[in-house]
Chains A and B, each alone.
Chain A
């Protein structure tokens, strides 16, 4: 047998020198503690996306699901110390498929899940929340950024792990105001989502004292941007003096090509260029690097915002169970909805769900593909309760009544 020293070389991984172990002590879980598993489900509606324009990697088919799977692994690694475990069942529905039928299948399964991570458009989320079979479920929204779901369209027992558009555009405008780049020329695409993003950006500008100096629409359909970008974008971005060009193009039909193609030499911000997001490849601080590595090991790719939301949703259920040392879904649900419930999310602060609309309060990142430019809440934006509540709908701004507010 070789000695550990001989086998060991700088930079070598543990597996290369697994020699000379006396004991690999695993903590035995006392049998008396072992409870029934806590059932968690993951439900997704696939959406049609435009073909990539610039040979980008497509949105991964398992975005969100892989995050939830990592959340399950992490929760079980913790749960075993207190005799708790989680299980995860998943269904992915094609565009046009019946999402309520998929929910029914999940509920009929083993460990009847009471916590359902939903990665689907707002209409699906509402249909699920209003379905009679969902009345004792907690739905964890990991995909829909619609601010209305945190406002007039909020539902009791729907928690939003993914940030709202209001939070995203607030984060962006905070950075712009911090840098005194407050004159915004806005270009938005033709989709409904683009309009919502543009409206949200305008609301954020009013909130923090920035100004949309001009607004134009741009429809990339019918033109081949590869040929026409140089001229078309110059026309579209001609306008009064501005500091940045903001783009609202959620599906990614033209925004990437707008960067460096503006009439004036101005940065592009918004859905492309410098973008606000819950998570991204460049996020590294607050031990995020460890989560990124665990994710890469599991999924073989980088972790996106929806992956993070999937991870966070399962992690929050696991944390609540461990805190209670209980697998009782009713107790777990109650704790998660308790304003005092705090959970970590590799963002440097304790995260919690807003008592008035169920939104997870969280720091957001301002990213370009290469780096993290800043983190919001940006320094100097103050709030009487927590600076995190400078992002998105604050209690007086939200019309949500479902949470008793």
Chain B
């Protein structure tokens, strides 16, 4: 009996910790023009709110108080209050914004304009366009290095990674990768850049210092035709140990050892997996599955899919924000 008490206390502490720990996942539904909000305490959809047309890329401001959504067919980047779902502002974004990345300064947004082969740089506070930079055809992936000095965009038809010097806002170099590069992700230490090539079926790991491809990772899944293996979204764990790669119509996420670049396993998820996001606690990974219209929740320690959450039609992007502490949330309402 007495031995049971500390255990019970520990359990209660754990239970008590769950709501405080819970984060929120914001998923853009490309076909429904909505965003679904999933609570990570319950992994249920708690809210759905309307946004602009064909929402794709999605990202939070550093403090989690503003949600940026690429409304591709509305030709704008929308700034949304995540609590109410209300539109705060439309940012000038250039034509057909698809993906974007927020610089570590928290205010410089780099936007890939798929239809007119440019990258638009916007100051989100003043809403001024700082530059438009010519890049290759159909720029899509966008990333800013952790030190904020380099931005990259991938051009899907030109098949290159374009390196942009953030200080001068000019394109300074281009690195060729495999067919149809879609997503770029810097490692947390900023030393490597991971780029997925959808049609090439590979992920290039690029040394940021030399801008040369250091390793090209390929994938092989028994019983799946190689041309159905189409890498899109990439997520890297904070500790630099693992990389997750969404493999499109093969309906799988690859688990890659981020140090040896060896593919460790494949996790079956929903149909046509686009993008992935990791919770701040690094314990769960979520995937957006475009064709099945759901989100798969993966347990990171065991690398197993544990739940499927139905969202809107054609879910595409996902962004996670840590839930505010209770006092803050109350103050905000």
Q: Which residue of A lies closest to B78 (CB)?
A: A10
Bitwise, B250-289 to A at CB < 8 A (1) or not (0) is: 0000000000000000000000000000000000000000
Within 8 A of A (CB), among B171-228: 171-174, 176, 179-180, 199-201, 225-227
- Residue B58, interface by CB 8 Å: no
The answer to whether B179 touches A25, judged by C-beta atoms less than 8 angstroms apart, is: no
The answer to whether B115 touches A293, judged by C-beta atoms less than 8 angstroms apart, is: yes
Q: Which residue of A lies closest to B52 (CB)?
A: A10
Interface size for B (C-beta < 8 A) is: 51
* Across-interface contacts of B300 in A (CB, < 8 A): none
The answer to whether B136 touches A77, judged by C-beta atoms less than 8 angstroms apart, is: yes
Q: Which residue of A lies closest to B158 (CB)?
A: A78
- Residue B137, interface by CB 8 Å: yes
Within 8 A of A (CB), among B148-186: 155-160, 162, 164, 168-174, 176, 179-180
Bitwise, B19-37 to A at CB < 8 A (1) or not (0) is: 0000000000000000000
* Across-interface contacts of B249 in A (CB, < 8 A): 348
Stretch at the interface among A16-24, A97-105, A181-189: A16-24
The answer to whether B225 touches A387, judged by C-beta atoms less than 8 angstroms apart, is: yes
- Residue A54, interface by CB 8 Å: no
CA distance A10 to B91 in the complex (A): 9
* Across-interface contacts of B305 in A (CB, < 8 A): none
Stretch at the interface among A1-9, A107-115, A211-219: A1-9
Between B74, B94, B158, B173, the greatest number of chain A beta carbons within 10 A of the residue's beta carbon is seen for B158
CB distance from A178 to the nearest CB of B (A): 17
The answer to whether B162 touches A27, judged by C-beta atoms less than 8 angstroms apart, is: yes
- Residue B114, interface by CB 8 Å: yes
Q: Which residue of B lies closest to A325 (CB)?
A: B176
CB distance from B88 to the nearest CB of A (A): 13
- Residue B237, interface by CB 8 Å: no
The answer to whether B128 touches A3, judged by C-beta atoms less than 8 angstroms apart, is: yes
CA distance A386 to B229 in the complex (A): 13
The answer to whether A23 touches B169, judged by C-beta atoms less than 8 angstroms apart, is: yes
CB < 8 Å neighbour of A4 from B92, B157, B160: B92
The answer to whether B160 touches A74, judged by C-beta atoms less than 8 angstroms apart, is: no
The answer to whether A77 and B158 touch (CB under 8 A), given A22-B169, A344-B180, is: yes
* Across-interface contacts of A342 in B (CB, < 8 A): 179, 199-200
CB distance from A193 to the nearest CB of B (A): 32
* Across-interface contacts of A26 in B (CB, < 8 A): 134, 171
* Across-interface contacts of A4 in B (CB, < 8 A): 92, 127-129
* Across-interface contacts of A10 in B (CB, < 8 A): 52, 74-76, 90
* Across-interface contacts of B116 in A (CB, < 8 A): 14
* Across-interface contacts of A177 in B (CB, < 8 A): none
* Across-interface contacts of A343 in B (CB, < 8 A): 179
Bitwise, B120-147 to A at CB < 8 A (1) or not (0) is: 1000000111111110111000000000
- Residue A159, interface by CB 8 Å: no
- Residue A95, interface by CB 8 Å: no
* Across-interface contacts of B294 in A (CB, < 8 A): none
The answer to whether A77 touches B117, judged by C-beta atoms less than 8 angstroms apart, is: yes
* Across-interface contacts of A21 in B (CB, < 8 A): 129-132
CA distance A11 to B179 in the complex (A): 31
The answer to whether B162 touches A20, judged by C-beta atoms less than 8 angstroms apart, is: no
* Across-interface contacts of B170 in A (CB, < 8 A): 23, 25, 27
- Residue A192, interface by CB 8 Å: no
CA distance A380 to B127 in the complex (A): 51
* Across-interface contacts of A82 in B (CB, < 8 A): 174, 176
CA distance A319 to B180 in the complex (A): 12
Q: Which residue of B lies closest to A81 (CB)?
A: B174
The answer to whether A78 touches B115, judged by C-beta atoms less than 8 angstroms apart, is: no
CA distance A57 to B226 in the complex (A): 41
CA distance A322 to B272 in the complex (A): 30
The answer to whether A349 touches B95, judged by C-beta atoms less than 8 angstroms apart, is: no
* Across-interface contacts of B114 in A (CB, < 8 A): 290
Bitwise, A22-41 to B at CB < 8 A (1) or not (0) is: 11111100000000000000
CA distance A13 to B157 in the complex (A): 22
CB < 8 Å neighbour of B157 from A3, A8, A344: A344
The answer to whether B95 touches A14, judged by C-beta atoms less than 8 angstroms apart, is: yes
CA distance A24 to B227 in the complex (A): 38
The answer to whether B134 touches A27, judged by C-beta atoms less than 8 angstroms apart, is: yes
The answer to whether A386 and B227 touch (CB under 8 A), given A12-B75, A293-B115, is: yes
Between B52, B131, B162, B173, the greatest number of chain A beta carbons within 10 A of the residue's beta carbon is seen for B131
- Residue A340, interface by CB 8 Å: no
The answer to whether A350 and B201 touch (CB under 8 A), given A23-B168, A78-B160, A387-B225, is: yes
Bitwise, A58-89 to B at CB < 8 A (1) or not (0) is: 00000000000000001001100110000000
CB < 8 Å neighbour of B133 from A5, A20, A25, A74: A25
Within 8 A of B (CB), among A324-344: 342-344
The answer to whether B227 touches A11, judged by C-beta atoms less than 8 angstroms apart, is: no
CB distance from A261 to the nearest CB of B (A): 36
CB < 8 Å neighbour of A77 from B133, B137, B172, B176: B137
The answer to whether B225 touches A386, judged by C-beta atoms less than 8 angstroms apart, is: yes
Q: Pick the 10 closest A-B CB pairs, nearest first.
A: A25-B170, A78-B158, A27-B171, A81-B174, A349-B227, A8-B92, A5-B127, A344-B179, A344-B199, A25-B133
Given contacts A350-B200, A387-B225, 13 further A-B contacts (CB under 8 A): A5-B92, A5-B128, A13-B75, A20-B129, A22-B131, A23-B169, A23-B170, A24-B133, A25-B164, A77-B157, A81-B162, A287-B138, A293-B115
**Interface of B with A (CB < 8 Å)?**
52, 74-76, 90, 92, 94-95, 113-117, 120, 127-134, 136-138, 155-160, 162, 164, 168-174, 176, 179-180, 199-201, 225-227, 230, 249
Mind listing 25 A-B residue pairs with CB under 8 Å? A3-B128, A4-B92, A4-B129, A5-B92, A8-B92, A10-B75, A14-B116, A23-B169, A24-B131, A25-B131, A25-B170, A26-B171, A27-B134, A27-B162, A77-B117, A77-B157, A78-B137, A81-B174, A82-B174, A290-B114, A293-B115, A343-B179, A344-B157, A348-B230, A386-B225
